[in-house]
Structure 1
Amino acid sequence: MKTYCLVILTFFSIITSCKPTAEEVVVYNSVDQVFSEPVLKDFERETGVKVKAVYDTEETKSTGVMNRLIAEKDNAQCDVFWSGDPLRNNILISRGITAPYQSEETALIPAYFKDKENQWIGFSARARVLIYNKRLIQKDDLPKSLLDLIKPAYKGKFTIANPLFGTTTFQIASLFAILGDSRAREWMQDIKANGVIIATSNGDVKKRVMQGEIAFGLTDTDDAFEAEKESDDVAYIFLDQQNSGMGTLIMPNALSLIKNSPNSENGKKLIDYLLSKETEAKLAVSSAQMPLIRGTPLPTNVPSLDAIKPMKIDYNETSKVLEEIQPWLKQWAEQ
């Protein structure tokens, strides 16, 4: 009898030890944690899938987790890359790090905002804007175009985040794609000669303008909307909206499934969850991001993409431009 009980106990201990661990998904994320974490927590609560998230720092936006993914290419530790723009996703594609994935939700996203082979899919976009302090400069006196920043009237009055990181890199790369290498380099040298102040991040641009240290600067819509809520002295405008203007850079969030990831099925579930009207509506409320799926509820303070003249760029080609100009850009920033 004792032997029989021992066999039963041993059997149950084996069964218990073989129980699968809780389902999980690993996401590397370059989007502001304060906005993206609540969405990931909702996914976790609604699906029961544990989310392990690795976030970029404010100062190394988009480059830290991207470089980690490159280093882990032969031993993938991440399932989904959630980027604040598609440029880094395209760099990962060029290195063979991503895998194609198309869900039913992918079809809801306009073709312009996704990779042709579905190696990245965009959703919830931001735009680059000019944020300004109304106590220091009047709206009518502001530049109307990025190209106006070289004018003597703005000498020493404006700031941009370090162009080696985050969405500022994207904006500079898009200018090179639009203007061509020679003209874009000349513009970069001219804004430096005109006293551009290099901030550590978009958040730092926002802070300096809010505090009245600098009259205006370039940042993203989410930072601009937050600044407007925090201070009556701050407002923003979209640049290059004239008929002849080159338009404002639109930056969708971008999702990529990582090749040979440890939890690929859960990675697909997370992508499906993020590519939804519900998620876009949450991000519109929390961070004033502009939905890409038509019919998504839109708060009154968030502009529709239909009302903005977009900069017409090829996201894939702009990614290639970014890699080409990176050494020169580093030299420019360190001069």
Structure 2
Amino acid sequence: MTPITFPRHQTLGLAIALFSPLVLVVVGCGGQPTTEPGLATRRVVPYVALDREFSEPILEAIGQREGLEIQAKYDVESTKTVGLTNAIILEADNPRCDLFWNNEIVNTLRLKKRGLLAVYRPKGAEAIPDAFKDPEGTWHGFAARARVLIVNTDLVPEDQRPDSIESLADPAWKGRIGLAKPLFGTTASHAACLFVVWGDAKAKDYFRRLKANQVQILAGNKTVARAVADGQLAFGLTDTDDAIIEQRDGKPVAIVYPDRRPDQLGTLFIPNTIAILKNAPHPEAARALADALLTAEVEARLAAGPSAQIPVIAGVAGPQGIETPATVHPMTVEFSQAADAFDRAAAFLETEFLAP
């Protein structure tokens, strides 16, 4: 698999963890599920890592339109992505999940490496750039976000604003910066990417310097964004969807795309991914749901909505107030290598940040 890079045009929007309780909710049932003998049910069970407030309305609309009884299982903020990934691994011999809507890519690739994903090419797959889909057809990407610094403008003068993830290790801000728990969600994926791009030694040194700088470890990216917006922290590392909400709410915050210059590391852009599970209990309904999700219509809705996701399908208008790789130098990383690095990065970070 080649590194994910992004064409430069304005419409391109691009752990080791314990199994935790997950939330099951029926989010749509437009039309009655088929119950006659010999006919396939229209019930489908997606596991969804994208925040429920953003994903549930889309699933409800699809369920009503397509006649699908969608029973979605969501993870919680504190175990983003990894909780659902571990659930899928634990259920491998008796799958309950039909389709995994992941809000990042590294853990999707971990499932592929375990042989847990089915091959399927959705109807709209041709419109998705090659960089955002598996040549073997086990996953497809869409609706990206960037890893950014959210800065409290009341606490950080404009001429002192950070411009790099290295700023989190700056002693001038000791104890006043924040990071989501680095074992889960996009923060864990970001860490794994750094282990690949920098190498293990440099990545470990970086996280040790963050610890020495008394970085505040919070429950999730949303918590980091709110802590900065409320003035509890000067700045922190989060995702564009969580940062833009605080900015649009009128909070005194600025969004900084770290390491954005060509001579720097680059800003990490991470797509959502859709994958159907091998031996899914409801494969036909899962394929119908994948077809409905991987469309320009859904990307446009996610871009225009509060999460301001960055489209990858050409021709879909990007979100207002969010920069894309058309204007920001993106980090180049081989995500399949990041999936290989995930467990060793998580083992190190668990020891550094969670061990008593």
Q: TM-score, normalised by structure 1?
A: 0.92
The aligned residue for residue 5 of structure 2 is none
The aligned residue for residue 338 of structure 2 is 318
- Cα distance change of structure 1 residues 301 and 147 upon mapping to structure 2, 3 Å threshold: closer
Task: Map residues 274-313 of structure 1 onto 2, 5 A cutoff.
Answer: 274-286=293-305, 287-313=307-333
The aligned residue for residue 48 of structure 2 is 29
**Identity, % of aligned positions:** 38
- Cα distance change of structure 1 residues 203 and 18 upon mapping to structure 2, 3 Å threshold: same
Secondary structure of 1:103's partner?
Answer: coil
> Aligned pair 1:96/2:115, yes or no?
yes
More helix, by proportion: 1
Q: More deviation in 295-304 or 26-35?
A: 295-304
Secondary structure of 1:159's partner?
Answer: strand
Report how many residues are paired. 320
Q: More deviation in 29-38 or 58-67?
A: 58-67
The list of structure 1 runs, each at least 4 consecutive aligned residues, that deviate by more than 6 angstroms after superposition, is none
Give the Å deviation of 1:140: 2.4
Residues 86 and 120 in structure 1, CA contact (< 8 A), matched pair in contact too? no
Task: Map residues 124-163 of structure 1 onto 2, 5 A cutoff.
Answer: 124-163=143-182
**5+ residue gaps in structure 1?**
1-15
**5+ residue gaps in structure 2?**
1-34
Secondary structure of 1:37's partner?
Answer: helix
- Cα distance change of structure 1 residues 213 and 173 upon mapping to structure 2, 3 Å threshold: same
Residues 120 and 255 in structure 1, CA contact (< 8 A), matched pair in contact too? yes
Give the Å deviation of 1:234: 1.3
Q: Deviations over 1:295-314 (max 9, x none)?
A: 01334333344222111001
The aligned residue for residue 198 of structure 1 is 217
Residues 310 and 319 in structure 2, CA contact (< 8 A), matched pair in contact too? no
Residues 157 and 216 in structure 1, CA contact (< 8 A), matched pair in contact too? yes
Q: More deviation in 306-315 or 20-29?
A: 20-29
Give the Å deviation of 1:20: 5.3
The aligned residue for residue 196 of structure 2 is 177
The aligned residue for residue 284 of structure 2 is 265
Q: More deviation in 212-221 or 324-333?
A: 324-333
Q: Give, in whole Å, the separation in 2 of the partners of 1:22 and 1:302.
A: 41
Q: Give, in whole Å, the separation in 1 of the partners of 2:160 and 2:294.
A: 40
Residues 100 and 119 in structure 1, CA contact (< 8 A), matched pair in contact too? yes
The aligned residue for residue 60 of structure 1 is 79
The aligned residue for residue 230 of structure 2 is 211
Residues 41 and 285 in structure 2, CA contact (< 8 A), matched pair in contact too? no
- Cα distance change of structure 1 residues 18 and 181 upon mapping to structure 2, 3 Å threshold: closer
Q: Give, in whole Å, the separation in 1 of the partners of 2:173 and 2:149.
A: 13
The aligned residue for residue 328 of structure 1 is 348
Code of the aligned partner of 2:338: T
Q: Deviations over 1:251-279 (max 9, x none)?
A: 10011110011111111111111111100
Which among 132, 151, 175 is matched to residue 113 of structure 1? 132
Secondary structure of 2:146's partner?
Answer: strand
Q: Give, in whole Å, the separation in 1 of the partners of 2:224 and 2:207.
A: 18
Greater Cα radius of gyration, structure 1 or 2: 1
Give the Å deviation of 1:21: 7.9
Give the Å deviation of 1:19: 8.4
Q: TM-score, normalised by structure 2?
A: 0.86
Kindly report the root-mean-square deviation, in angstroms, between the aligned alpha carbons of the 2 structures: 1.6
- Cα distance change of structure 1 residues 172 and 75 upon mapping to structure 2, 3 Å threshold: same
